[in-house]
Amino acid sequence: MKNITLEYYEWQLMIKNRWLRIDGDHVIETHYCQPGAKGMTINTTKGKVFIDFDTLETSNKGVRVQRLSVLPPDQTEDVCWYFRDEHEWWEYGSRGPGTSVSSRDIERHFTLYPQGNLRFTVGSNGYSLDFRTMTQMNLNTGLQRRIRRRPKFTNSAGLRSPPALLAGSTSLSGGKPKWEFMDQYGKWTEYQKHNIPQCNWTTEHIYNFFPQITVKPIKMVKKNNANANKLKKNQCLPFKMTFGFNKQVSISSEDIEVQFKRNPYGLLTFTTKKFKYELDFAAMTQRNLSTNTVRSVRRLE
């Protein structure tokens, strides 16, 4: 059976004056579609290269990057516009009827005047969007916020057959496939069923290898020491470790592999202590069904 390829985009790097497609660029696209993603580091023949999603530039002066939208002439890309408040990114038009402008309105104006401004109102407040600086200004208070323009994430974007086998591969002991997700720090983490045990490590170990955990000392070693309440580098104290994601995970690589072999284009749901998630094998993504946060997933074989 002939493989079907549905591609609405293409990520390329210019190396030695040639534009070359990036293998597994659907992983980059998945991150790029998230408004909170500043960029992503990838491995290339030139070493590790960081792609800045805001400027579409790389950390390597000798390497250029571009994203091509590959659509039929009669179609346009579905684009979302976001602004950042004190806590998170919000799409324009998604916060109730009081908002007088939507992503579609902004995109239409941006297409006509990519270096211009757009003014709109929300209640008694007037706002101005500056496409050159990608900022929003409250015309009453002068408060500025960052804005971003990103394509809308769709599960069909970049679908390949078979999808998971293109997400990356390596040689593993025992020949058992391993499933990993990319966390908020840009690190790949394997799906594992476990509860984090209590143990003794130095604080340097903790921060070097697990920057996402919270360290809670149980008791101090020297009660009479005036500095006993201060954690020192390499100080070994009893503590409890809490992983934001991996605490009481209900699924492992082995479980995911079983479901993947049954239906490599299907969906799989699982839970942690706080959230419910959905794995999309076709798109190679994990979605938090409560927050709608999407993360990249890969299968190593």
For the segment 79-136, what is each residue's pLDDT rounded down to a tens digit? Answer: 999 999 888 888 998 765 556 789 999 999 999 999 999 999 888 889 999 999 999 9
**Residue 149: enclosing H or E segment and its boundaries?**
strand 144-151
pLDDT exceeds 80 at position 256: yes
User: Counting Cβ atoms within 10 Å, is residue 285 exposed (0-12), middle (13-18) or buried (19+)?
Assistant: buried
- For the segment 188-206, the average pLDDT, to the nearest whole number, is 57
- For the segment 200-210, the average pLDDT, to the nearest whole number, is 46
Q: Which pLDDT score, from 0 to 100, does residue 280 have? A: 87
- For the segment 221-230, the average pLDDT, to the nearest whole number, is 49
pLDDT exceeds 50 at position 242: no
Q: Which pLDDT score, from 0 to 100, does residue 96 have? A: 56
pLDDT exceeds 50 at position 22: yes
State the average pLDDT for the chain.
Answer: 75
What confidence category does residue 263 fall into, taking pLDDT thresholds of 50, 70 and 90?
Answer: confident
Which residues sit opposite 201 in a β-bridge? 237
pLDDT exceeds 80 at position 174: no
The Cα 103–Cα 221 span in angstroms is 56
For domain 164-193+247-300, give its CATH number from 3.40.50.2000, 3.30.720.50, 3.40.50.1820, 3.40.640.10: 3.30.720.50
pLDDT exceeds 60 at position 230: no
Quickly tell me which residue has 């497609």 as its tokens: 21
Question: Could you tell me if residue 27 is left (phi over 0), alpha (psi between -120 and 50 degrees) or otherwise beta?
Answer: alpha
Q: Which pLDDT score, from 0 to 100, does residue 119 have? A: 94
The Cα 77–Cα 103 span in angstroms is 12
Whether the model pTM is above 0.75:
no
**Domain 79-151 fold:** 3.30.720
Which residues sit opposite 287 in a β-bridge? 278, 294
Q: Which pLDDT score, from 0 to 100, does residue 27 have? A: 83
pLDDT exceeds 50 at position 141: yes
Highest mean pLDDT among 14-28, 124-138, 243-257: 124-138
From the CA atom positions of the chain, what is the Rg in Å?
23
Question: What are the residue ranges of CATH 3.30.720.50 in the chain?
Answer: 9-69, 79-151, 164-193+247-300
Q: Which pLDDT score, from 0 to 100, does residue 13 have? A: 92
- Domain 9-69 belongs to what architecture? 2-Layer Sandwich (3.30)
Q: Which two tokens stand for residue 71?
A: 């659509």
